Amino acid sequence: MNEKVTQYINSTKWTQELKILRSFLLELPLEETIKWNVPAYLYKNKNIIGMAAYKNYFGLWFHQGVFLKDKQRVLINAQENKTKALRQWRFYKLNDIDRDLIKRYVYEAMKNVELGKELKPIKNTTPVIIPSILEEEFSENHKLNLKFKELTTSKKREYSEYLISAKKETTKQKRLEKIVPMILNGIGLNDKYKKR
């Protein structure tokens, strides 16, 4: 038993439901681990399934779900125009869980791994646009400017997009206050999700 998976499951309001989903997945030739702070299931060293609990639902996501036939139409793209390969299967109550159907989808995902079906992320090569609020902060804080320049392009982009996406000036200011110490410490905005 993976203790971290058990801890995750027991920390949610969907404990019973996730235990049932997990029991199905453990019957299959999958390796169980934790990635991105949630239970993950690998086949031939490839991430194929994640399991997670949210406020209003719990579910599975298939990392290469775009290749699944999905005849039952249970999969959704939770972030249209952003997510290319990932597909999510949401459950809202215990009765939504169909053991045999879940297993069919997982076996198809495993077969797709064997066939080499994989949509790899496309690297973003567009230049990073630094928002004016951050540029102004750089002019007042030379150390912040130097530390920002040391970050990888993807981390710079995450911070910039985080500020740009705020609609109100007050929100931009709050976000700036949040990220300044992170930048000074060389931490990326989303590092906590990438460590596992």
Which positions ≥6 away from 56 have C-beta within 8 Å? 92
Q: In the CATH scheme, what is the code of domain 3-114?
A: 3.90.1150.200
Q: Which tens digits make up the pLDDT trace of 3-30? A: 888 888 888 899 999 999 999 999 999 9
- Low-confidence winner among 61-65, 118-122, 175-179 (lowest mean pLDDT): 118-122
Q: Are 51 and 16 in contact (CB under 8 A)?
A: no
DSSP state of 71: T
CA dist., res. 134 & res. 139, Å (int): 9
pTM listed for this prediction: 0.66
Neighbours of 48 (CB within 10 A): 24
Please list the residue range(s) of the chain that carry CATH number 3.90.1150.200: 3-114
- Which pLDDT tens digit goes with each residue over 22-51? 999 999 999 999 988 899 999 999 999 999
